Amino acid sequence: MARRGAPVVALVAVAIACALPFLLSNFRLFQFTQVYIYAIALLGLNLLTGYNGQISLGHGAFYAIGAYAAAIMMDQWGVPYGWTIPAAGLICFAAGFLFGLPALRLEGLYLALATFSLALATPQILKYFEHWTGGSQGIVLAKPSAPFGLPLNPDQWLYFLALVVLLAALWLAANLLRGRVGRAIVALRDNPIAARAMGVNSALYKSLTFGVSAAYTGIAGALSAVAIAYVAPDSFNIFLSIALLIGIVVGGLASIAGAIYGAFFLHFVPNWAQDISKAAPWAIFGVSLILFMYFMPYGIAGAVHRIAQRLQRPQSTGDGREPPPSVRTIA
């Protein structure tokens, strides 16, 4: 997806992002921080479901593992928060890889079923291991302040932390998907038998993808534990997993930019919808899922892409529609 204008747009976006902490209130900054955290989690899920075609309705579980790993390390072992984030990533990579191995035998629907069940069971499992997780009451943490005496308040510091991790995650994902590995991952989604016949080690790639995907989401979870300074089992219920799914669908399946659009959608829609009623955000999410699948199967990223294409080539012939990355309808 190397559009001509893309690097310029990206640079401008990063520049604006860096300027924001000095322009916005702490509260707004915190919102953006949460958006960035979501984006990292969505990158992870999109890698698995959008690019690799393995449906996961249970990524909330990895988010929870990352969050609790970080929380326990900080709370019980006094590990500095900076180290908990990569540690959570490694732990979730292992968890994802291990889950991915048996998942190899599960196709589409059955994998969706198994991961959905995992998501349903997560809060209960978290509450059960009270000794580690603090049970229903969760774990309260201390909000970190800026290191090295930098002139930033905690919200600003956390914002930059999240931003840096997000940029690293974006860069890593883009590179991963651009090369041989990326092509193998997508090939496994589109035609697994042909891919295997071409020598792609299906088992290895699919498990690795699961691992990397879980790692991303786990890092996001760890960041959220640090930023919110609190973890509790009921925040990691089935609705979290569903929210992540909504994020990648609305943002755009098999799209890196989609993670960012989706994250903004996930965070800000409930904000103004909650004024209508407590139930409204989820009703909107549900309706969005259905409407996007009907009319915008590539999500916002797809729409942006199409608009950009039309701007670059004003006299395009044909309707320029390619089949969506993983939502190919039979004519």
Phi-psi region of 139 (alpha: psi -120 to 50; beta: other; left: phi over 0): beta
Q: Which is nearer to other proteins, 10 or 120 (CB)?
A: 120
Summarize as ranges the residues that interact with other proteins (CB under 8 A): 49, 53, 55, 57, 102, 105-106, 108-110, 112-114, 116-118, 120-121, 124-125, 127-128, 193, 238, 242, 245, 249, 253, 277-283, 285-290, 293-294, 297, 326-331
Q: Which is nearer to other proteins, 124 or 312 (CB)?
A: 124
CA-CA distances (angstroms) from residue 258 to 9, 288, 312?
15, 15, 20
Minimum CB–partner distance for residue 121 and other proteins (Å):
4
Q: Which is nearer to other proteins, 223 or 250 (CB)?
A: 250
Minimum CB–partner distance for residue 202 and other proteins (Å):
14
DSSP string of 145-158, one letter each residue: --GGG-S--HHHHH
Tokens of residue 81, six digits:
């928060």
Minimum CB–partner distance for residue 61 and other proteins (Å):
10
- Residue 63: which H helix or E strand, with range? helix 59-77
Q: Which long-range contacts (CB under 8 A, 24 or more apart) does 123-131 make?
A: 123/233, 123/234, 123/236, 123/237, 124/233, 126/64, 126/68, 126/233, 126/236, 127/233
Minimum CB–partner distance for residue 266 and other proteins (Å):
13
Q: Which is nearer to other proteins, 135 or 144 (CB)?
A: 135
Per-position b or e across 7-19, b if 16+ CB within 10 A of its CB: eeeeeeeeeebee
Q: Which is nearer to other proteins, 27 or 294 (CB)?
A: 294
Minimum CB–partner distance for residue 277 and other proteins (Å):
5
Minimum CB–partner distance for residue 286 and other proteins (Å):
3
Q: Which is nearer to other proteins, 36 or 97 (CB)?
A: 97
